[in-house]
Amino acid sequence: MTQQQAEVSGPLDAFRQFMSLRRDVLVLSLAMFAFSLGFQMTNRFLPEYLAFLGASGLIIGAWGTFGNVIGAVYPYYGGVVSDRVGSRYALTVFGFLSTLGFGIWLGSAFVPAIDLGVIVLEPWVWVFVGLLLAQCWKSFGIGGHYAIVKQATEPERLAHGFASTETFRRTAFLIAPLIVAALVADQLMPGFLWVLVIGLVFALLGTILQHFMYEAAEDTVGKEFEGFGQIANDLRALPDPLRPLLVADTFVRFANGMVYVFFVLVITQFMDIGLNVSLPLVGAIDLAPAAFFGVLLGIEMLVALLTMAPAATLAERTGLKPIVGLGFLVYAIFPVMLIFAPENVWVLLVLFAFSGLRFAGLPAHKALIVGPAEQGSGGRVTGSYYFVRGLIVIPSGLIGGVLWEYATPELSFTIASSIGLIGVVYFAIFGQEFEAYR
C-alpha cells in the first residue's frame, strides 16, 4: 500500500482505498460484509427474540455471558483448525457452521417446549445452541483481519488501512438494522423470521464466495495461531503499549458487556417507544419499538461511517491515543445516558448518533493493538489480546442480567458506566502511543 493510496479523508476515499487492497484482504473483507450483514440483522435483536420465546431478564443476561465465553475461546480453537487444514478450508468450514447456526435460530420459533421430566427445554434454549455455530466464522475472522491488514499496510498508515476495511464492512452494519426495521415495522414477529432467512442466505453466499475466491497460498493467516499452549508465551511477549491498552479496554468492554444485550429491551420494553412522525414528501411513519430500534442502530452506524476515516486522518496529527480514548469515553458514558434519557424520539436519535462516535476510534484502536507486534505475529498478538479481554469480560452479561432482573435497569446501567469510566481514566493516565504515530 503506497502513501498516496493511503490518503483517506472521508468514507468515499475509504471505499476507493479498500478496492485497491490486495486480493486476499479484499475477498476476506467481502466475506466479512456478508457475515456482518447477517450478524447485525440478528444479533442486536436476538435478546428481544429470546424474550418472545419466553426467556427472562436473567436468561438474557446469561445469553450475553454465553457470547462472551465463545468470544474468548473460539479464536484459539479456530486457529488450531486453520493450522491443521489451511486457511481456505478453515474459512469454508467455519462459514458452513455459521450458516447452520442461522438455521437453528430460525427453527427455534417452531420447536415446542420439550419436557424431559427433570427439566423442560424451552424454545429459547435452541437460540443458545445456534450461537455455538453462528459464531464459528468470526473465530477465524478476527485474527485474520488484523494480520492481513498489517501485512498489507505501512506501520504509520495502519489506522488508514483499518479505516478502509472497517468502512466497507460496517456499511453492512448500516444496512442490516434498516432491513430489520422494514420487516418488523408493525411488530417483531413474523417479520424477524424473514430476517433470519436473509441472514442465513447471506452467510451461505459469504461461505461460497470465500471458498472459490480466497487464495491462501501466499498469506500466513493459517500460521498465526498456535492454540492454548502458546497463550502464556504470547502474553509475556505482548508489546509494552498493549498492556495499559488491554487493562483499559477490559474495563470498558466489561461495562459494555453488562448492558449491551439490554439496549434493545430499553427501547422495546423499558421505554416501549416507537417512531410515529410525519415528514415532508414522505408522509406519516409509524414504526413499532423493535423497528424504531433498527432505525436507531442505522443512525448510529451512519455516524460511524462518516467519522471513521476522518478520525484515522486526525490520528496522524494527534496520535492514536486521543482517538482511542474518545472511543472509550463514548462507550463508557452511553449506558447511563440511555437509561436516564427522556422518552422522546428526537432525543434518542441524537443519543444514538452520539453513540456512533465510539466507532470513530475503532481503526485507531485496532492499529494500536496490532501495530507494535512484530511482522508475521499480528494474528497471534491479536488472539492473545482478545483472549485475555474476553476471559475477564465473560461474567459481565450475567451480572448485568441479575441487576436488570432483581434490582433495577437504572442501577445496572449506572454501575456499568462507572466501571467504564475507570477504564477511561486509566487509559488517559497510563496509555502509551504507538511509536510510528509519535
Across 214-236, average pLDDT: 57
- For residue 46, the domain's CATH number is 1.20.1250.20
Q: Is residue 127 part of a domain?
A: yes
Q: In terms of Cα–Cα distance, which of 91, 88, 67 is closest to 78?
A: 91
Q: Is residue 4 part of a domain?
A: no
Q: Is residue 70 part of a domain?
A: yes
Lowest mean pLDDT across 115-124, 138-147, 181-190, 297-306: 138-147
* Span 55-110, pLDDT tens digits: 999 999 999 999 988 887 776 666 556 656 666 677 788 889 999 999 999 999 99
Q: In terms of Cα–Cα distance, which of 197, 91, 195 is closest to 136?
A: 91
User: How many Å apart are CA 188 and CA 185, to the nearest integer?
Assistant: 8
Q: Mark residue 276 as left, alpha or beta (left: phi above 0; alpha: psi -120 to 50; beta: remaining).
A: beta
The three cell numbers of residue 417 are: 458506566
Q: In terms of Cα–Cα distance, which of 216, 188, 389 is closest to 294?
A: 188
Mean of the per-residue pLDDT values for the chain?
81
pTM: 0.84
* Span 243-276, pLDDT tens digits: 889 999 999 999 999 999 999 999 999 999 998 8
Say how far residue 198 (Cα) sits from the centre of its chain.
Answer: 19
Q: What is the pLDDT of residue 5?
A: 43
Strands (E), 172-331: 275-279, 283-287
Q: Is residue 395 part of a domain?
A: yes
Domain count, the chain: 1
Q: What is the pLDDT of residue 376?
A: 44
Across 32-54, average pLDDT: 90
Q: Is residue 362 part of a domain?
A: yes
Q: Is residue 341 part of a domain?
A: yes
Strand partners, 279: 283
* Span 425-435, pLDDT tens digits: 999 999 887 65
Q: Is residue 3 part of a domain?
A: no
Domain span at residue 316 reads 11-437
Q: In terms of Cα–Cα distance, which of 252, 409, 391 is closest to 325?
A: 252
Q: Is residue 402 part of a domain?
A: yes
